[in-house]
Amino acid sequence: MNKQYCPERQLPDYAFIPGLNPHPFKEGGHWFGQEEPIAKQIDESDPLTNKDFCYALDLINHDYFWEAHVYLEALWNAHKRTGPIAEFLKAIIICCAGEVKRIKGQIPASDAHHKRAHELINILLKEHKKILGLNLDEILKSWKIHNYKINY
């Protein structure tokens, strides 16, 4: 069982895969009637105080990759899409997109997304060992064996 960082938020009823089940924000979707999240910046010294970040981790760690990207994008926007935290979030967003492509059977597109996510982490590694307290080398090693969970 995967640890939950934001247990007060329920995991969705299903993992959205475009073309296979209802879009989460449309009628019949598990988030129908909800607004897309608007997140606050993550406190680099205490990232687990950011509930949207915690929920994004839960979504990733339970294979809700499309749903995770929604929260990650909100966080990426909160960081104005610039700087190391934003680049790290971007890498995770791209990785999530790659997993959605893989699930849909779009392997070349999935591989391209994962390659780009790895490139972004490698760029970050030139100046950072950790971002948000997460070891970038360990994340990259995990991703190379197709384990996309992110844990503290």
Are 53 and 76 contacting, i.e. CB atoms less than 8 angstroms apart? no
Q: For residue range 72-93, what is the model confidence (pLDDT) as tens digits?
A: 999 999 999 999 999 999 999 9
Alpha carbons 21 and 64: distance in angstroms, whole number: 13
Domains and CATH numbers, the chain: 47-144 (1.10.3450.10)
Paired with 130 in beta bridges are 135
Find, among 37, 27, 39, 32, the residue nearest to 12 by Cα: 32
pLDDT score at 1: 62
pLDDT in tens, the chain (152 residues): 678 999 999 999 999 999 899 999 999 999 998 999 999 999 999 999 999 999 999 999 999 999 999 999 999 999 999 999 999 999 999 999 999 999 999 999 999 999 999 999 999 999 999 999 999 999 999 998 889 999 99
Alpha carbons 80 and 102: distance in angstroms, whole number: 29
What size, in residues, is the chain?
152
Are 69 and 61 contacting, i.e. CB atoms less than 8 angstroms apart? no
